[in-house]
Amino acid sequence: MIAITKKITLATLSFGAVALAFAQKSDAKSKTLLDAVAKNYKANKNTYFKFSYGTGSNGKVSKTQTGIFYTTPSQYKLKIMGVEQIFDGTKVYNISDEDQEVTIAKANGKEMMFSPTNYLNSYSKEYNAKYIGKKTVNGVSADLVQLTPIKSNGIKNVYLYVNAAKKTLVKIEQYSSNNDVAVIAVTDYKTNQNLAADMFKFNKNQYSNYLITEL
C-alpha cells in the first residue's frame, strides 16, 4: 500500500479512511478494551514495534516477513519488504532500495497507510466491535475483539488480540471478502526511547543515485 514501483501490497491490510454515515454498534467490553489501548499508545512520547507480517489466501498464511515501525503522535517511520516510508509531519517519503527510487508526497490526512495501531484509530467510526472472549497467543492471555465493517469495504472481519493488563495489541488478523488473509503479530514493543534527532527526517544527500520524484 505504498505507491511506488516496489509496492508494499498491504492490499491485504487496507487502512484507508472511509467516510461513513452509518450508526456504529459496539459492546461496552470491546469499547473499553480498545479505548484503553488507544489511550495508552497516544500517551507515549514515541513507540516502537517489531512485527511479523503474514499474508495468504483461503484463511491460511503462506508468506511472512518482518517489519519495524517507529511512531510519535505526529511522525512515523515504517520499514518492511525492502521499502521504507517516512512521515515527517508534513510530507511522506517512500524509499525503495531495490528500485533506487524515492517518491515524495504532501500529507493528505491519509498518509499513515500502515501501522499495528491503525484499527484503533478507525474502529470507532468504521467498524462494529464485538467482544469474543479470551484467547492465548504465544503464551499471552489476550482478549479477542471482532471488528466488522459498517459499510462494505472489501474486508470481511478483523480480529484484534488485546493484552488488557498491558493495554497493548498482541496480534491482528484481517480476513478480506476475497478470502485473502493478513496477520500482524507484534514480537517486540518499546516506548519512550531516546531516538536520534533525525529519526523522522529525509536526507536527500543520502540518495544521490536514486530517482527522486515529488508529486
Q: What share of the chain in percent tops pLDDT 70?
A: 85
The number of angstroms, rounded, from the C-alpha of 117 to the middle of its chain's C-alpha atoms is 5
* pLDDT beyond 50 at 5: no
Per-residue CA distances from 46 to 49, 60, 72, 130 (Å): 10, 33, 4, 29
pLDDT of residue 27: 83
pLDDT of residue 23: 47
67 band by pLDDT with thresholds 50, 70 and 90: very high
154 band by pLDDT with thresholds 50, 70 and 90: confident
For the stretch 50-65, pLDDT in tens is 999 999 998 889 999 9
pLDDT of residue 104: 95
112 band by pLDDT with thresholds 50, 70 and 90: low
pLDDT of residue 4: 35
Distance CA 109, CA 26 (A): 25
pLDDT of residue 195: 94
Distance CA 67, CA 75 (A): 17
Task: Take residue 182 and report the three cell numbers written for it.
Answer: 493478513
Residue pair 66/50 in contact (Cβ under 8 Å)? The answer is yes
Who wins on pLDDT, 67 or 11?
67
For the stretch 27-42, pLDDT in tens is 889 999 999 998 998 8
For the stretch 73-107, pLDDT in tens is 889 999 988 899 999 989 999 999 999 999 999 87
pLDDT of residue 86: 94
* pLDDT beyond 80 at 10: no
Strand partners, 182: 55, 174
pLDDT of residue 115: 61
Task: Take residue 178 and report the three cell numbers written for it.
Answer: 476475497
Residue located via cell numbers 474502529: 123
* pLDDT beyond 60 at 48: yes
Spell out a b/e string for 109-127, using b for 16 or more CB atoms within 10 Å of the CB, else e.
eeebbbbbbbbbbbbeebb
Average pLDDT score, the chain: 84
* pLDDT beyond 50 at 26: yes
pLDDT of residue 98: 92
Kindly report the pTM of this predicted structure.
0.79
pLDDT of residue 215: 85
